[in-house]
Amino acid sequence: MKLNVEQRRIVELEPSGPMLVKGVAGSGKTTVAIRRINFLKEHYCHEDDDRILMVTYNKTLLHYIRHQYSRMADEDQQSAVQLFSSDTEVEILTIDSLMYKEFMRYQKRLNKKLEIASLEKMHKIMILAIHHVKKSYPEVKVLSPKNSKFLLEEVEWILSCAMVDVETYQSADRIGRSSGDGGSPQKLMKNSQLRAAIFEVYLHFKELLEKEGLTTFKQMNFYALDEVRRSRINTYTHIIIDESQDLTRVQLMFLKELYQEKDHSSLMFVADNTQSIYPLSWLGKGRPYTSIGYDMSGKSRALSKNYRTTTEISTAAFHLIEADESIRANVDFVKPALIDRHGHPPIYRFFTTPQQQLHFLIEEITMLKNDYALSEICVVSREKRHIESMALGLNAAGIPSDILQRNEPDFESDQVKLVTMHSIKGLEFKVIFLIDLNSGLIPLERYTDAEDQETLDSDERKLLYVGMTRANELLYMSSVKKPSKFIKEIDRKHLRMKKDASLRPFESISMANYQLTDQLVDLHSKEEVIRQWLVRELHENYGYPYELMELEFQVQQFSKKGYCDIAVMVYTAGEARPYIIAEVKRFGSGIDEALTQLKSYLEADSRAFYGIATDGLEVKIIDRNGEEVQDLPKCRPQFLPETKNRRVYKNLKNGKDYDYAVDADSIELIEVSEAGNEVLLQVHEKVAVPLIGNVAAGMPSLASESYETPYYLPREWVISPRETFSLTVTGDSMTGAGIDKGDIVIVNQQNTASNGDIVIAVIAEEATMKKYMPMGNDILLVSENPNYEPILMRSEDVHINGRVIGILKK
């Protein structure tokens, strides 16, 4: 893979201490980080104790990086082999494994053996701590067992920020925690009794845990930090921290301790705050790097091109976070630049039961198997229990599937992969199914306090964004029962209801916006909202004008009359006929009956070509033979009733034929092209040519007052605009010259003519159209029709009134 200029520059930057690489999802941050390792190894690892560390967030990501590298070609593979071989200079490790090692060392040094406390045990100990501290702070209402969850979270936060004294806690900005849970709206004011009491709870909680030989993950990290500060034995000249936005303050401080500053050393933070999905993360919440002791001014680089997903998927995903002010306002926010890689817009489906969702996945995956290996398909859910039941369902349906475990996940196996949203961070698959995007589940509804919930919502929105941006080619999203409110935040125009069809997902339309209401009997019927959605889709998405739609269209079935819900009419040979017919059913009530009806209507009215049946949840499109088809055709200009009067114009001035069209509503709107050529000619100047009667109506005269509607012609078609008129042809004497009854001839008023001109000649006050042939003192007026004899006249008896310069054919 060839890096772009910006990526290469980052890889080859001369090391100069701390630096930040920020970028949008899929912009190649991890790719750059890995290439950077090889660059540093080759150029900036010349001292004996020089070592490189790349830190990943979790094991899945670590294994995924290995997997990605093993699939790369030649040069990249070479470097991968080097990287993952037992190389003492380079280590790629997860933050947890690094810290765990130090924790073990801590235990060994102090001869301790602490175990991780279960959640239940933590709650029990927390309640004891609350009772204990309550004695000293009787007036602090939050100190109540019902707030144990809230206090536990607060203790975790204190630990993850490595706060060793109460003063630090009293003065800390507490992002995302404005008040208590469970209806105890206590603001965590700085320098308050409340904070003092909570810190006491923390100290006592820790003490009680230790007494029982227990610890927590957060506490363990704290011990690890202590230990590394004490020993500083394993240090690195270069550290690259992938997904650094997710790390807690303790984790960041820990890595800082591992960093060995030299004049050629580097500490690279790789981050995307838009993907910060953990409530305890430090930098991801928008805190400046100065809060961990680094000044990044002039030391950050941004990558904005998303290489992973298609423009359609990126656009929908970005739409979701764009509306979140707290995300946009983040100092390290990078606006994505789209690359020109197009694909299918995300498909969104809504289901009323988990079985329906499972059934949908089975059907889609069975179809996708033709184009994708099963290992390229991944099902993602917020909760583990949902992927577990989905895995069971898929396996039972004969679709091999495998939950990606944190330890040694097998990316290659020919099985559909399943993983939680948190664990898919950093990974990518060709096809992603984001399932169970349900209300209450994403965002989790945890707080009664609006401000707290809003902060959580922001994290959860980012979580969905992470999930959406994992897809290389195809993204499916689905909800069961009540959809997540985030689905509403994505503009429907970015979503589709079905693969390879333009139809967008169902959306309720308010009655005030109903169309074709004059054709409606019952505005309130349950089917109406579905019909209105489909009517709007047919109009907005497929381009059919409302005027072409008929509701309750009558279909004659032998002796019976049926009424289909919508008929889209099209015009052929000037006549309207049904082209698409639709049957709609109440929301979620199934479409089997609608399909049967539709098929019988299509059989009965052989004029219709397509049928669509939907209940807003399911949709099927069939052709007149009842066979399923992918999509409905879009409206084409030829389907519409003709709004133009079209004629051929024979221009006798240059011998060319033109197509001439005049708008039925506005005679000045003309379109001209060379005959048979669709490219319209530019008409710079138009001339209004009056129609002053018919050829046989006597002496034609421009002085006549009773003009009929004029014809507008291009200026260059006439000779003298003020002396041009037109006449309707009444007879058939000039058919041989291509002038027939009903045509309109354009005449230049003149008294002379040349041999062969077609003229309007007036003989004894009667006008006639003939070919002019002078013969000495006489004139031969010739008809172009063998049925009529030529007329020989003395020139003084013939008055030439004008010369025909063009014919507008009927």
Distance spanning both ends of the chain, measured CA to CA: 65
Hey, how many other C-beta atoms are within 10 angstroms of the C-beta on 473?
A: 18
Q: Is 501 annotated as a binding residue?
A: no
Tokens of 397: 């349906």
Query: What letter would DSSP give residue 375?
Result: G
Q: Is 517 annotated as a binding residue?
A: no
Q: Is 285 annotated as a binding residue?
A: no
CB-nearer residue toward ligand ATP: 245 or 733? 245
CB-nearer residue toward ligand ATP: 382 or 647? 382
Q: Is 155 annotated as a binding residue?
A: no
In the complex, minimum distance from the CB of residue 310 to ligand ATP, in angstroms, rounded to a whole number:
12
Burial of 668 (0-12, 13-18, 19+ CB in 10 A): exposed
Q: Is 30 annotated as a binding residue?
A: yes
Q: Is 183 annotated as a binding residue?
A: no
CB-nearer residue toward ligand ATP: 30 or 478? 30
Hey, how many other C-beta atoms are within 10 angstroms of the C-beta on 8?
A: 14
In the complex, minimum distance from the CB of residue 473 to ligand ATP, in angstroms, rounded to a whole number:
11
In the complex, minimum distance from the CB of residue 268 to ligand ATP, in angstroms, rounded to a whole number:
13
In the complex, minimum distance from the CB of residue 328 to ligand ATP, in angstroms, rounded to a whole number:
18
Burial of 395 (0-12, 13-18, 19+ CB in 10 A): middle
CB-nearer residue toward ligand ATP: 317 or 670? 317
Cβ within 8 Å of residue 678, ≥6 positions away = none
In the complex, minimum distance from the CB of residue 15 to ligand ATP, in angstroms, rounded to a whole number:
20
CB-nearer residue toward ligand ATP: 69 or 533? 69
Type of residue found at 449: D
CA angle 450, 455, 457 (to 5 degrees): 85
Q: How far apart are CA 778 and CA 690, in angstroms?
A: 32
Q: Is 28 annotated as a binding residue?
A: yes
CB-nearer residue toward ligand ATP: 275 or 479? 275
Q: How far apart are CA 156 and CA 721, in angstroms?
A: 90
Ramachandran sector of residue 414 (left: φ over 0; alpha: ψ -120 to 50; beta: rest): beta
Alpha carbon 257 to chain centroid distance?
Answer: 43
Contact between 568 and 516 (Cβ < 8 Å): no
CB-nearer residue toward ligand ATP: 472 or 801? 472
CB-nearer residue toward ligand ATP: 98 or 277? 277
CB-nearer residue toward ligand ATP: 27 or 276? 27
List interacting residues with ligand ATP (CB under 6 A): 1, 3-4, 7, 23, 25-31, 272, 275, 307-308, 426, 428, 469
In the complex, minimum distance from the CB of residue 112 to ligand ATP, in angstroms, rounded to a whole number:
38
Short-list 69, 81, 104, 95, CA closest to 239: 95
In the complex, minimum distance from the CB of residue 337 to ligand ATP, in angstroms, rounded to a whole number:
13
Query: What letter would DSSP give residue 541?
Result: I
Instruction: Count CA atoms within 13 Å of residue 598 on its CB side.
Output: 31
Q: Is 570 annotated as a binding residue?
A: no
Axis-axis angle for helices 148-160, 119-136 (nearest 10): 90
Contact between 514 and 523 (Cβ < 8 Å): yes
151-156 long-range contacts (CB < 8 A, ≥24 apart) are 151/126, 151/198, 151/201, 152/122, 152/123, 152/126, 153/177, 153/181, 154/188, 154/198, 154/201, 154/202, 155/126, 155/198, 155/201, 155/202, 155/205, 156/216, 156/218, 156/280
Residue number, nearest CB to ligand ATP = 28
Hey, how many other C-beta atoms are within 10 angstroms of the C-beta on 519?
A: 12
In the complex, minimum distance from the CB of residue 349 to ligand ATP, in angstroms, rounded to a whole number:
25
C-alpha distances in Å from residue 678, one per residue of 601, 648, 666, 686: 38, 13, 21, 20
- Residues forming the active site: 733, 770
C-alpha distances in Å from residue 734, one per residue of 561, 698, 729: 54, 18, 9
In the complex, minimum distance from the CB of residue 393 to ligand ATP, in angstroms, rounded to a whole number:
29
Tokens of 170: 């009293």
Please enumerate, by residue number, every residue annotated as part of a binding site for ATP: 23-30
Please enumerate, by residue number, every residue annotated as part of a binding site: 23-30
